[in-house]
Amino acid sequence: MIVIRKVGEMTSLTEKLSDRSIGFVPTMGALHKGHLSLVKKSSSENDVTVVSIFVNPTQFNDPKDFERYPREVEHDLDLLKQVDVDYVFLPNRTEIYPQEDKQHYELGEISSKMEGAFRPGHFNGVASVVKRLFEIVQPKRAYFGLKDFQQFRIIQNLNANFNLGVDVIGCETVRDDDGLAFSSRNRLLSKEDRELALNLSKALLLMAENSTSMNHSELEDLGKHYLTNYPEIEVEYVKVVDPESFDHPSKKAEKGKRLALLAAKVGKVRLIDNMKI
């Protein structure tokens, strides 16, 4: 495993690897089993796997959230040595943004909903860094966890709109034994708050269990009502959508063809989760 910190070194490498398939896993570090599952999938489908670690400042609409975001680079590198990674791209801010990216990215109506509404500018920052990384690494395939399902759809739109030519692959959410979706932010939770956070996936499971007998608005109300039992959880949204359009699903949508999404603050930590229902 070779660590590369300079954009010039990375682009030179990708030119030399032009006859080999590159799989790419972009991350913000604080790695967990979900990230490692993406790495393993990339390694199984490509000649070379590159993992990037970069906490992207442009996708944080709250500077305090950016400062709090966990940074554990040495631990991350130790984890990556245990799986089949060829290169780790570990740039600093000036390498990724030698000049400020002032572009407004057209990402479709989906970018103004849910996460887009609660985190103004977030998806533009995601688009900025992903486009930049794709141009540097030149991957054939890139792997993203579907816990951030809306982000995944945004990146698909970005890839298509800018003809980046990458096969954007979504991988199922990995959960801990108790059902909590793995997230880098989980390590910011106290023991008590982690117990509270389990109710997010429980709310989604409750909605899934009732998906054949309720329409989307009834399911949303069910999830919200369940979470009112835990006033310590600050719910931002509970939504049921069509996973393609992100509009309300049709009344005839089959079980498993709707997507329930939620966002909430547990303590000072903002968490998101989703589930097909």
Catalytic residues: 35
CA-to-CA distance for 90 and 156, rounded, in angstroms? Answer: 24
Q: Are 53 and 89 in contact (CB under 8 A)?
A: yes
End-to-end CA distance of the chain: give it in Å, rounded: 40
Residues 6+ away with beta carbon under 8 Å from 83: 36, 39, 40, 43
CA-to-CA distance for 142 and 262, rounded, in angstroms? Answer: 25
Q: Which of 56, 123, 46, 63 is nearest to 89 (CA)?
A: 56
Q: Which residue has the tokens 């991957």?
A: 139
